[in-house]
Structure 1
Amino acid sequence: MDRNLRSILYFTAISCGLAWLVAWPLWQGDGLFDTRFGVVALAMMFTPAVAALAMVFIVERPAAKFRSLGLWPLKPAGRLLMYLALALIVPVALILVALPVGDALGVYPADFTGFSAFKAILATAGQGELPLPIETLVAMQFVNVLIGAFINLLPALGEELGWRGWLLPKLMPYGPVRAIVVSGIIWGAWHAPLILLGHNYPLAPGWLGVFMMIGMCILVGAAFGWLRLRSTSVWPAALAHGTFNAAAGFSMVFAAAGAPINTVNATILGWSGWIVPLLLAIVLVATRQFREAPASGKLAGQFPTHPPAAG
């Protein structure tokens, strides 16, 4: 087994093992209804970062440690800013476009004009008569997503430092498609401690939920990986992840009240929501967008596309 593959296996074992360790109190308690769920889920997001830091500072100890994680350098500034801007747009676009696609296929109960589910949520929250027209409140959700993207940046970096900061470049020697697929599989499987409890896929058996999460992570991970590789920085991927989490609630904003949403079939989590991300991934592969960006200092040759020699 070559050293690169051995490091990848170590990283996977550490990140997934820590995830199960952190989530174990939920399995011993009330699962998703446990009062500690929020704290546990937040702590779990930092386990990939712990694994990546362990690989960089203890196992491999490269000379340019922060560069190997994609944290540095923050240049060229123009390119980085462009991909940071895309990180605020692409995840929202993928989440939103999944809804009319699901509606057209008959698996997402949409209400794009009345916003009846959103009205019901506001009523349940005790707001009674709406203080503003519902259209204004819907528009304000886009502002909330922008704010939430930056609030979520730190915990999202806890994941992305592992998945796209360290792991994706390590997999690039085996080819970009394999790198995207394998990193997505690992990322999706890492969610198992929560998915098996019913998180994200409450209407599906646990094994199916994990399978669906892996599929979603491969395709959404392709977009995040593109941002990481083309910017040569982990920051756009982390901001995209934070934006993605902040925008997840749009599936309820545009839904019809009283109609259950089966996330196996609908939203970005379900198969209908994978169609556009799959098409995007195909375009990115066909146009060679997963190759290394133009060299910047020592970044040249960072992501070779041939298998490393065994060692």
Structure 2
Amino acid sequence: MRLVTKLLIYIAVSFILAFIIDAYLVTTGVDQIKFSIMAAVRMFTPLAAVITILLIEGEKVIEGLKGYGLRLFKLRYLLLALSIPYLIYGLGVLYALIANMPLVNPIIKISEEYGAEIPMDPNVLLMLSLLTTVLTGLTINTACAFGEEIGWRGLLLDELIKVLGYFRSVVVIGVIWALWHAPLIVLIGFNYPHHRDLVGVSMFMAICIVLSAFLALLKLKSGSVIPSAVTHGTFNACRGLMLFTVDVEDELLTMPVGVLALLSMITIYVILHLALLRGGLHGGE
């Protein structure tokens, strides 16, 4: 199958299925439980697109998925993948301090937001919450993130890098990834409740491009999409804590999808890229 045909099929299937879910959410109303369930289902639409292409090509699905990165990998890449979201979080807090932005224990803000009592010392509960994000990130969140990663950093990256190279592939995938999320931002206010417009979509596009660079680097060096799914899933697990750590109302300025997060991501990515680039971009060792 020609590359252009493969890309068009991938985009058509993943976008149409995702937009059907978005339409369901918009027309039936959104509550937290329903959104969480449907958002998890939505994450598997890129996987559905990959399977569709494999079936059209007459390939065995499992073998095809292995070819796009469903493989074992070295333990060091798991540890690296797990650490990245917390490095982004920690450096984001440091940048907030430098910028003199107000910081709070996110547990206190979350309890105020949802009208819940704090059953123990907020600092202890914060430590327990961080441990919980590790467990959640490594399990259910990674499983859901795999549904996306086998598409974005699996099929798309493997196919595009042949003709565009690494950096241009990262940008193209980041743009497509952001547009795939765009209806959630505009129609529901996902990530940007104060910017359900081009501003919110544009900021998320920048976030997606930089995150895509992280995730692509992990995929190429480990030879597997699973480390990418671990970073993706764990980052999602940390979103709530990140969001309520910096006491600024405008989400464009803070974490996990604002300027603070973007600066933190860029800084850590540059260091990581220089460290992992030794020995070449493609690894799998």
Report if TM-score (shorter chain) is over 0.5.
Answer: yes
1:294 positional shift: 5.4
- Which segment is superposed worse, 280-289 or 153-162? 280-289
Alignment match, 1:164: 153
Q: Tell me which residue corresponds to 1:24.
A: 23
Alpha-carbon distance change, 229 to 125 in structure 1, aligned in 2, over 3 angstroms: same
Residue by residue over 1:198-234, the C-alpha shift from the partner in whole angstroms, topping out at 9 and shown as x without a partner, is 1100111322111111110110111111111100001
Higher helix share: 2
8 Å Cα contact 2:107-2:125 kept in structure 1: no
1:57–1:65 Cα contact (<8 Å) kept: no
The residue aligned with 2:204 is 213
Q: What letter is aligned with 2:174?
A: G
Change (3 A) 1:104 1:160: same
Could you tell me which of 135, 140, 156 is aligned with 1:147? Answer: 135
- Report matched runs for 1:175-190 at 5 Å: 175-190=165-180
Query: Do the aligned residues in 1 keep the contact of 2:211 with 2:265 (CA within 8 Å)?
Result: yes
Q: Which amino acid aligns with 1:38?
A: S
Distance, in Å, in 1 between the alignment partners of 2:159 and 2:246 is 40
* Alignment correspondent of 1:276: 264
Aligned mate of 1:98, from 92, 102, 106: 92
Is 1:263 aligned to 2:251, yes or no?
yes
The 8 Å contact of residues 216 and 268 in structure 1, kept in 2 or not, is answered as no
CA distance in 2, matches of 1:50, 1:237: 18
Partner of 2:39: 41
Aligned residue in 2 for 1:203:
194
Query: Which is higher, the Rg of structure 1 or of structure 2?
Result: 1
Distance 1:218 1:171 in 2: 15
Q: Deviations over 1:113-153 (max 9, x none)?
A: xx2x522433665654x443222111111111111111212
Is residue 234 of structure 1 aligned with residue 225 of structure 2?
Answer: yes
Q: How does 1:24-103 map to 2 (within 5 A)?
A: 24-30=23-29, 32-33=30-31, 36-59=34-57, 61=59, 64-72=63-71, 74-75=72-73, 79=74, 81-103=75-97
- Say how many residue pairs are matched: 279
Q: Which amino acid aligns with 1:230?
A: K
Check the 8 A contact 1:96/1:250 in 2, yes or no: no
- Cα deviation for residue 188 of structure 1 reads 1.1
Cα distance change of structure 1 residues 41 and 138 upon mapping to structure 2, 3 Å threshold: same
1:10 partnered with 2:9: yes
Identity among equivalent positions (%) equals 30
Alignment root-mean-square deviation, CA: 2.5
Could you list the per-position Cα deviations for residues 74-99 of structure 1 after superposition, in whole angstroms to 9, with x for gaps in the alignment? 25xxx2x1111111111221133223
| Kept in 2: contact 1:45–1:158 (CA 8 A) | yes
- 1:132 pairs with 2:120: yes
The answer to whether 1:119 aligns with 2:118 is no
Local SS of the residue matching 1:70: coil
Distance 1:208 1:60 in 2: 42
Aligned pair partner of 1:194 in 184, 191, 203: 184
- 3-state SS of 1:266 partner: coil
C-alpha contact 1:71 1:233 (8 A) present in aligned 2: yes
Q: Does 1:109 align with 2:102?
A: yes
Residue from 211, 222, 225 that aligns with 2:216:
225
Taking structure 2 as the reference length, the TM-score comes to 0.87
1:236 positional shift: 0.7
Shift of 1:33: 4.1
* Contact kept in structure 1, 2:96 and 2:246, CA below 8 Å: no
Mark the CA change 1:37 to 1:276 in structure 2 (over 3 Å): closer, same or farther.
closer
How far residue 252 of structure 1 moved from its aligned partner, in angstroms, is 4.3
Flag the 1:103–1:172 CA change in 2: closer, same or farther, 3 A: same
SS of equivalent residue, structure 2 residue 57: helix
